[in-house]
Chains A and B, each alone.
Chain A
Amino acid sequence: MPVDSATDHIRARGKLRGMPAVQMLFLAALLSGLLVVSTGMGFIKIPAAAVVKIILNKIFGSPELISGMDEILPVVVMDVRLPRILSAALVGGGLAMCGVVFQGILLNPLADPYTLGVSAGAAFGAALAILLNVSALGIYSVPLFAFMGAAATLAAVIHLSSAGGGLSSNTLILSGIIVAAILAAGISFLKYLADEQVAVIIFWLMGSFASKTWADVGLAFGSAAAGLAVFLYFARELNLMSLGGQMASSLGVDTRRVTLILLVAASLVAAVCVSVSGIIGFVGLLVPHLMRLLSGPDNRRLIPASLLAGAILLLGADTLTRAVLPAEIPIGVLTALIGGPFFCYVFRKQQAARRIW
């Protein structure tokens, strides 16, 4: 890249950084548009205007909006498509904003919501539930086991890394890797035992939004909203913590307390996401990176921007696999197949820009 275009790129970035409100509006408009268009796509095509009318009728209860419409359409929109679409958007947004928080706490731009073993714990819990054929809670048995697995893993990682009074980023990452490695062996063992059930386990692990319900939407919404509130409250502290624990502490941040609160909150949001949809990679890694280029590293802007962008990305990917591709590919596979190479591209481009500067 020639020097001129590199400096132009940085100047342009600076200009965009100055307009956070415009960025948020743009992302929000994009997400709203995508929600409507995506709801219209599928086996039965529904025009955008009809989708909007059906939703408005549901919210404001004015049946004249949908008079004369095929009776099947409101059912398709409200009971089949919207739960799946909203789940995908909420999980994408949740994972992306957790990615921001994990990268901030661990001082590592390569961290993601799964760095502390949350995904491995959830996978282990889910595999166990499938293997033991737990059905006490009906269709929620597997998600519940996944959540408990993730929460137990988080507790183990925090316990392991706080022995020396620490919770430093290095001990946390190391503890996460150790616990995840043990769990990976455990999952392999469960698959080995599972015999005919192994396909069910593998399919769950690859992630899917097929046949999501309004209960899933409620769960994902609740956790994303609570997470967003906690993250925004501590966004300033998270900025300071990127200077390192010693500096943040001397600037007045209670680093241990903030680290613990943010870790637990982000891990629980990620655990709910995984319970709802299975393991979906790359959203939590890629989106914070992209948004940092657009809105800068200030977490007060980066967290909401990543929430919106994550929702757009995962909803886009899910719509692709649901309504565009000839056969449905598991969403976790799709995000990794698209996200991986794209991440490589962004990563190389960033390095090139840095070298010239």
Chain B
Amino acid sequence: MAFEIEQIGFAFAGRWAVEQVSLTLPPGRFYGIVGPNGCGKTTLVDLLCRYRTPQVGGIRYNGRELEGYSKKQLAREIALVPQNFYINFPFSVREVVMMGRYPYIPRFSGPSPRDAQIVAEVMGSADIGHMAGRLVTELSGGERQRVVFAQALAQQTPVLILDEATSNLDIGHAIRLLGLARRQVLLEGRTVVGVFQDINQAAAWCDHLIFMLRGRIAAQGPTRDVLNPDAIRAVFAVEARVYHDDYANALQVVFKK
């Protein structure tokens, strides 16, 4: 099991952001977390990558308590693409992507030829190779997001966590990067956990959907089983129709205005 989450809870100032959440996530799948604003999606993701620690319950990763891993070990297991990303200092794009190799490069050593090669490859994948020398402070929001995406890929971890990682991307780059993540799930057995605002994007890429509402799990299971009008009504309070779209080759949702 990649993650075994048992009855975790996390509260901000006395209000539960995540409450009584239990989940078992086997490896080699693409998981999508969906739900209304403020339902605890990002907090759950923060708990998975140990940026926050659950106040009750526990998370096991590969059979071991998440708490038992050192930060460095964990950085070789789990990579994160965050929702927002600002940087105040004028690092070049290549320098920022190279930071993804930090868990592998010993202190006081420079990057090895292999590190340089990996960085060049992921910059190609994220379509930022042509801006390697530009400064991140001078990029647009979408370009910056591709840079952090490349950085997370450079970490070469078995688990990739995407917290609305394509929210600022144009549709071409979004499809390209999510497709890349999808291929890594299928071909390399990677585990991807993504938070999505766009339920159709989640439906198109994810094997498994987790619906959250007010910090709890409202429904979860294989996409074809749980993505239905009842679940969408229960979580988002909108009327919807779900159908299999042959062109997208995926379940898609249309909403009533």
Interface size on A, as a range, is 20 to 34
B114 in the interface (beta carbon within 8 A): no
**What CA separation (Å) do A236 and B108 show in the bound complex?**
9
Contacting residues, chain A, for B255 (C-beta < 8 A): none
Contacting residues, chain B, for A357 (C-beta < 8 A): 135, 138
A253 to chain B, nearest CB (A): 7
Contacting residues, chain B, for A166 (C-beta < 8 A): none
**What CA separation (Å) do A244 and B82 show in the bound complex?**
10
Besides A243-B99, A254-B71, 11 new A-B residue pairs in contact (Cβ under 8 A), listed by A number: A107-B88, A242-B89, A243-B96, A249-B50, A249-B51, A250-B51, A250-B75, A250-B82, A251-B155, A296-B90, A297-B90
**What CA separation (Å) do A212 and B135 show in the bound complex?**
44
Does B71 lie within 8 Å of A253, measured CB to CB? yes
Does B102 lie within 8 Å of A252, measured CB to CB? yes
Contact of A243 among B46, B72, B75, B85 (CB under 8 A): B85
Q: Mark B67-106, 1 if CB is under 8 A from A, else 0.
A: 0000110111011101001111111100110011011000
Q: From residue 81 to 113 of chain A, which have CB atoms closer than 8 A to chain B?
A: 104, 107-109
Of all chain B residues, which has the CB nearest A245?
Answer: B51
Contacting residues, chain B, for A297 (C-beta < 8 A): 89-91
Contacting residues, chain A, for B100 (C-beta < 8 A): 251
- The residue in A108, A253, A297, A354 that gathers the most chain B C-beta atoms within 10 A of its C-beta is A297
**What CA separation (Å) do A246 and B71 show in the bound complex?**
12
**What CA separation (Å) do A171 and B138 show in the bound complex?**
27
Contacting residues, chain A, for B92 (C-beta < 8 A): 296
**What CA separation (Å) do A10 and B82 show in the bound complex?**
29
Interface size on B, as a range, is 20 to 34
**What CA separation (Å) do A108 and B88 show in the bound complex?**
7
B111 to chain A, nearest CB (A): 11
Contact of A251 among B75, B107, B135 (CB under 8 A): B75
Q: Mark B143-161, 1 if CB is under 8 A from A, else 0.
A: 0000010000001000000
A261 in the interface (beta carbon within 8 A): no
Contacting residues, chain A, for B49 (C-beta < 8 A): 249-250
- Please judge, given known A-B contacts A252-B71, A254-B71, whether A240 and B95 are in contact too, CB under 8 Å: no
- Please judge, given known A-B contacts A246-B51, A246-B80, A357-B138, whether A251 and B99 are in contact too, CB under 8 Å: yes
A203 in the interface (beta carbon within 8 A): no
Q: Mark A326-357, 1 if CB is under 8 A from B, else 0.
A: 00000000000000000000000000001001
**What CA separation (Å) do A314 and B92 show in the bound complex?**
30
Contacting residues, chain A, for B87 (C-beta < 8 A): 242-244
Q: From residue 215 to 247 of chain A, which have CB atoms closer than 8 A to chain B?
A: 233, 236, 239-240, 242-247
**What CA separation (Å) do A244 and B87 show in the bound complex?**
8
Does B82 lie within 8 Å of A246, measured CB to CB? yes
Does B91 lie within 8 Å of A240, measured CB to CB? no
**What CA separation (Å) do A237 and B76 show in the bound complex?**
16
B43 to chain A, nearest CB (A): 12
B179 in the interface (beta carbon within 8 A): no
Contacting residues, chain B, for A107 (C-beta < 8 A): 88
**What CA separation (Å) do A357 and B133 show in the bound complex?**
13
Of all chain B residues, which has the CB nearest A254?
Answer: B71
Contacting residues, chain B, for A250 (C-beta < 8 A): 49, 51, 75, 78-80, 82
Does B95 lie within 8 Å of A298, measured CB to CB? yes
Of all chain B residues, which has the CB nearest A356?
Answer: B138
